[in-house]
């Protein structure tokens, strides 16, 4: 009898341990679920050197640079410098850096760029550039450079006086052309010396000249800004006279993988079944 009691206690202790372990796994799963769901980092976290396009269940602000939804997306900031690869050049540009945020809902993507410009001018402009395909391209319109072959790029261009975006392609200097199929939209708002411009487009367009954005995959992006202020009767920055960045990384976040919850639930069911069998045995007074 004493032997049976000892075994019952040991068996019961093992069952409890299994149940506690399953519960702990469940709590662990819930604890890491925000990470799996790709929530933004906490406030104060350092900005990334890549653009993180967050997946949202809400409405993507495709045409609203001032929407509160942008507050849920952490920004990344990139330094800009004068374009020096192609004449005409300028030695100093107005825009020194650009802050970038991104949101998508699995169907459409919106990218917000924000930068300082003391004056609002008709010729103010901004652009996003993407590398298309697997062939490496230089950020200067995909121009062939030393150790870098030429490759196609997709450019989303916005100009204040036009008030909308132009979907463009290039493969080297003097090859920039508007595409036959226009997929990009944009809207800009200038307030208190700051431009906020949102570019939007479907993730997939079916156009071979476009960057096709696949959630979970990395792509290359570069930025360009023009200050259209009139100086001595001429536009300060136009054409190749602009502030530019080199290539940076961009990634639209995939849908969260919640498969871990299946294992957690399975563990809980196994532990519960184990406990149920043990309780029935104890109630029937069976030896274990």
Write down the pLDDT at residue 272.
62
Write down the pLDDT at residue 267.
58
Q: Which pTM does this prediction carry?
A: 0.75
- Are 187 and 197 in contact by the 8 Å Cβ rule? The answer is yes
Same domain, 238 and 272: no
pLDDT in tens, 87-121: 888 999 999 999 999 999 999 999 999 999 999 99
Same domain, 235 and 95: yes
Write down the pLDDT at residue 188.
98
Same domain, 154 and 174: yes
Same domain, 43 and 158: yes
Write down the pLDDT at residue 167.
98
What is the bridge-based pairing of β-strands 108-116 and 97-104?
antiparallel
Write down the pLDDT at residue 136.
75
Mean residue pLDDT of the chain comes to: 81
Place of tokens 């799963």: 29
Alpha-carbon distance of 219 to 50, in angstroms, equals 10
CATH number assigned to the domain comprising residue 213: 2.60.40.1190
- Are 268 and 261 in contact by the 8 Å Cβ rule? The answer is no
Alpha-carbon distance of 179 to 175, in angstroms, equals 12
CA atoms within 13 A on the CB side of 74: 16
Question: Nearest Cα to 131, choosing from 102, 111, 158, 151?
Answer: 151
In which domain, by residue range, is 76 found? 38-252
Same domain, 88 and 172: yes
CA atoms within 13 A on the CB side of 161: 8
**Domains in the chain: how many in total?**
2
Same domain, 270 and 128: no
Same domain, 262 and 216: no
Same domain, 73 and 174: yes
Which ranges of the chain have pLDDT less than 50?
1-3, 11, 15, 19, 22-23, 25-47, 261, 263, 287-288
Same domain, 76 and 195: yes
Same domain, 45 and 94: yes
Same domain, 154 and 176: yes
Same domain, 206 and 219: yes
């Amino acid at each position: 009898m004493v032997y049976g009691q000892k075994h019952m206690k040991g068996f019961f202790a093992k069952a409890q341990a299994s149940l506690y372990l399953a519960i702990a796994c469940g709590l662990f799963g819930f604890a890491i679920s925000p990470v799996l769901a790709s929530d933004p980092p906490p406030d104060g976290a350092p900005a990334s050197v890549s653009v993180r396009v967050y997946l949202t269940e809400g409405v993507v602000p495709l045409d609203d640079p001032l929407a509160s939804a942008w507050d849920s997306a952490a920004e990344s900031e990139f330094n800009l410098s004068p374009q020096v690869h192609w004449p005409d050049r300028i030695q100093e540009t107005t825009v020194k850096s650009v802050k970038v945020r991104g949101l998508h809902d699995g169907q459409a993507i919106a990218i917000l760029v924000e930068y300082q410009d003391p004056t609002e001018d008709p010729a103010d402009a901004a652009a996003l550039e993407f590398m298309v395909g697997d062939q490496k391209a230089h950020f200067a319109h995909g121009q062939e450079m030393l150790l870098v072959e030429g490759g196609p790029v997709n450019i989303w261009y916005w100009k204040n006086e036009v008030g909308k975006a132009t979907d463009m392609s290039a493969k080297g200097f003097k090859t920039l052309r508007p595409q036959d199929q226009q997929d990009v939209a944009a809207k800009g708002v200038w307030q208190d010396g700051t431009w906020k411009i949102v570019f939007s487009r479907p993730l997939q367009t079916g156009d071979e000249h476009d960057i096709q954005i696949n959630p979970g995959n990395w792509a290359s992006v570069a930025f360009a800004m023009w200050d259209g202020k009139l100086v001595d009767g001429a536009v300060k920055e136009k054409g190749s006279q602009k502030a530019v960045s080199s290539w940076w990384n961009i990634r639209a976040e995939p849908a969260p993988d919640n498969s871990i919850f299946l294992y957690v639930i399975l563990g809980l069911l196994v532990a519960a079944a184990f406990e149920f069998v043990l309780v029935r045995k104890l109630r029937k007074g069976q030896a274990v």
